[in-house]
């Protein structure tokens, strides 16, 4: 059985280390390996190429993905999924490792229910919002990118007696925002999962300003869609010149952290081993309490990720 690896959906640091480990480890297990370029679109267009060591040499430290990624509207149509299957079959590929998130796994669940193809998904998203796993590949690097930006923004905020409102990514999940707020010492954190206590915070921060506070650092999750509202509230409530920084896609880039590289290696080895031992594998590798396990794809995509209660409890200290 030949094996292939594909990236789908948003890119994340750690994809390249996973791709390299996939090729190296599959060769060690005496398996033919293929790289699917351009994600689901590449499956349809037969952008499937046999891999060799040269293809993955020197890529561990590079952000993004050398085989690129995509989101595909065509893949929702059966005729294109049938073309994709024929392309895989022509290369003798029956097992796939898929680096992606909920949308990618939903697409592969549909695909594998219609055709004789096995896959194992590796949760890969900086949003860290996939059900059933504590950790998604890429989130550690993204948090370090945010941490670096926040440290620099706090420097200028304190120098000019300003308030800075920093918008971070995360879709509808506040994981990046709350983790960054806690580790940067932010005074305000606004996330979709928790009601923002304006009156309480206004009272506390005005008291601190009277006692000498000169600046405020606020973190807001993009999923709240309240950046403009919070900017006006901060400026009007505390009388501080308030600036907005939207970090945007720099959070997706950058050299993968040591932790993301190590997790990429471990996730990939688990995925390949499972494919080699099972001929009906439509699973997602998940990581919980320091251990890897496998979850049915249907369970992953039919449930919604919930922010851990301990993070919600910790953020109460900012109120």
Which DSSP string do the residues of 225-250 spell out, in sequence order?
--HHHHHHHHHHHH--EEEEEE-GGG
Q: What is the DSSP letter of 295?
A: E
- Tokens coding 18: 């996973």
**319 pLDDT above the threshold of 90:** no
Residue 16 CA to residue 58 CA, distance in Å, equals 10
| CA 256 to centroid of chain Cα atoms | 12
Residue 292's H or E segment, with its range, is strand 291-296
**281 pLDDT above the threshold of 90:** no
Classify residue 248 by burial, with Cβ atoms within 10 Å: 0-12, 13-18, 19+: exposed
3-state secondary structure of 124: strand
Residue 283: per-residue pLDDT: 95
Mean pLDDT to the nearest integer, 169-181: 96
Mean pLDDT to the nearest integer, 249-277: 97
Q: What is the pTM of this model?
A: 0.95
Residue 259: per-residue pLDDT: 98
Residue 1: per-residue pLDDT: 82
Instruction: Show the domains of the chain with their CATH numbers.
Output: 2-138+256-303 (3.40.50.450), 139-252 (3.40.50.460)
What percentage of the chain carries pLDDT values higher than 70?
100
Of 50, 39, 52, nearest to 90 by C-alpha is: 50
**128 pLDDT above the threshold of 90:** yes
pLDDT category at 314 given cuts 50, 70, 90 is confident
Residue 109's H or E segment, with its range, is helix 102-114
- Catalytic site residues? 127
**44 pLDDT above the threshold of 90:** yes
pLDDT category at 96 given cuts 50, 70, 90 is very high
| CA 82 to centroid of chain Cα atoms | 29
Beta strands in 158-275 (DSSP E): 162-168, 188-190, 216-221, 241-246
Residue 280: per-residue pLDDT: 79
């Amino acid at each position: 059985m030949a094996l292939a690896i594909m990236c789908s959906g948003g890119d994340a640091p750690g994809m390249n280390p996973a791709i390299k480990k996939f090729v190296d480890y599959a060769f060690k297990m005496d398996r033919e390996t293929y790289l699917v370029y351009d994600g689901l679109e590449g499956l349809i267009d037969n952008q499937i190429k046999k891999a060799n060591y040269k293809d993955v040499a020197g890529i561990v430290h590079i952000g993004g993905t050398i085989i690129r990624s995509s989101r595909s509207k065509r893949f929702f149509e059966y005729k294109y999924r049938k073309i994709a299957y024929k392309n895989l079959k022509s290369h003798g590929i029956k097992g796939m490792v898929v680096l992606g998130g909920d949308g990618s796994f939903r697409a592969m669940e549909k695909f594998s229910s219609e055709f004789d193809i096995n896959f194992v998904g590796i949760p890969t998203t900086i949003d860290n919002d996939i059900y059933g796993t504590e950790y998604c590949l890429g989130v550690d690097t993204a948090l370090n990118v945010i941490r670096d930006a926040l440290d620099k923004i706090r420097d200028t905020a304190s120098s000019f007696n300003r308030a800075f409102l920093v918008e971070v990514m995360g879709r509808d999940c506040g994981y990046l925002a709350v983790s960054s707020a806690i580790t940067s010492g932010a005074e305000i954190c606004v996330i979709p999962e928790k009601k923002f206590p304006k009156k309480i915070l206004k009272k506390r921060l005005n008291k601190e300003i009277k006692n000498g506070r000169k600046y405020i650092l606020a973190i807001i999750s993009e999923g709240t869609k309240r950046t403009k509202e919070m900017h006006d509230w901060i400026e009007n409530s505390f009388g501080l010149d308030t600036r907005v920084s939207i970090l945007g896609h720099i959070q997706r880039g950058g050299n993968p952290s040591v932790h993301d590289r190590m997790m990429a290696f471990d996730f990939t080895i688990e995925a390949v081993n499972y494919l080699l031992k099972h001929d009906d594998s439509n699973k997602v590798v998940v990581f919980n309490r320091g251990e890897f396990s496998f979850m049915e794809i249907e369970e992953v995509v039919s449930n919604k990720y919930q922010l851990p209660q301990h993070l919600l409890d910790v953020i109460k200290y900012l109120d």
